[in-house]
Structure 1
């Protein structure tokens, strides 16, 4: 296994995943190949994309050096999907891909922001809030691909949280920042779910992104996220299989 420069390569040319296309074009993440450069692993944030020929030994080598903890494995290649399906250490689930354009209605989104429950308010992510996001399991992914707020801000990261009586109840953030787009990361404290917080936050994030002329890409982790995206104006492309380590 060897690490090569992050760039658009033939193995990914036919891929439809927005994260892959935007990530490679922006030079983000890390790209690995086998010695013959017939198989490739693209490590981007919490995702690992597998292209080219499916090779069990290649994936094992990556796992030994970098691990798969908190990684979501995705491939559009039949040989890789067959290999992942046969791996007993992984569980398969369904994600949902959306187009990199959407039918946003500004007035509707503004109304959704205003529909936030009276007990809560939306605040932008600042240095103090960014630090707090790392203190709880449900919110840690909201810090995106960075370790410090300074790095987050320098890369063009931004986001918002819902706060009630000094407590962060939900948040939305830039999981990744591309050249003209962002990858949305959204999460809600389990104690505050199904109260419309994510919907108001998502509307706020879309409006802020439009003002910045950055398209807010959405790739849904589950059906609830898919339904929310469709309510906001995103257009579904397809459901697709993804994999992650089984919990012990």
Structure 2
């Protein structure tokens, strides 16, 4: 079966209509990512690839479950719409696919307390400073070897990041040691990415920069969406005012 790229997102929107995920919205509105479906007729299955994520919807398709877009890295997170897709992913990837849980939160700001967020943002330990993600911080993030690339790597280049992205950096003696930034963007907001250098964890840096970024988003009329990779991230989100929605399965695949 031939897999083709789809440019007309209106053809795919019904397949993802009830999936409350900002990265899906990013792709369907043309802000980021790309879309694929089996060739021939109206699509009954589709894959949206945005950053490291692939969202599979519609009728399970073995070829699409095994599809890797050109230029995709060695690591992908496959999100099945239902268990039929989960079975297709397991059949396609076998032991290369590790099933794990992620944690979704309601897309509403009703639990946010700006005063509390301001206190969290100000509660940095001595020796650390908080500032907007500038050009030097952007370059340090891309050159980092501890995961900070994800703070801005999904944008085409530095110019694209400063045109559409948004971020907050934590510095120690001029070095980037933590940050919160737009992993992806859509018209109504951003998907938050937070990373902390291993040597600087458990010091409140993630909460401080996360709170600062949330405040900046609210100031600009943007929604700071949070999707947690693990229970620790979910607990941090709850402490910042996010309302838990559900746990859902994904597959981490190393090709």
> Do the structures match in fold with TM over 0.5?
yes
Residue 230 of structure 2: aligned partner: 222
- Partner of residue 148 from structure 1, selected from 152, 157, 162: 157
Go from structure 1 to structure 2 and tell me whether the alpha carbon gap of 1:200 and 1:160 turns closer, same or farther (over 3 Å shift).
same
3-state SS of paired residue (1:16) = coil
Superposed CA RMSD: 1.8
> Any idea what SS the aligned residue of 2:29 has?
helix
Does the alignment pair 1:100 with 2:102? no
Matched, 1:44 2:44: no
Structure 2 unaligned regions, length at least 5: none
Q: From 1, 4, 8, give the equivalent of 1:2.
A: 4
> Is 1:213 matched up with 2:221?
yes
Residue aligning to 2:188 = 180
Which segment drifts farther, 111-120 or 137-146? 137-146
CA deviations over 1:119-148 (Å, ceiling 9, x no partner): 100121112211110112321111142142
The residue that corresponds to 1:15 in the other structure is 19
Contact 1:26 1:179 in 2 (8 A): no
Three-state SS of the structure 2 residue aligned to 1:63 is coil
Q: Segments of 4+ in structure 1 off by > 6 A?
A: none
Contact 1:170 1:189 in 2 (8 A): yes
Matched, 1:160 2:160: no
Q: Is the 8 A contact 2:65 2:89 kept in 1?
A: no
What residue in structure 1 maps to residue 239 of structure 2?
231
Could you tell me which runs of 5 or more consecutive residues in structure 1 were left unpaired when the two chains were aligned: none
- TM-score of the aligned structures, taking structure 2 as reference length: 0.90
Question: Structure 1 residues 217, 78: closer, same or farther in 2, change over 3 A?
Answer: same
Residue 65 of structure 1, CA deviation: 3.9
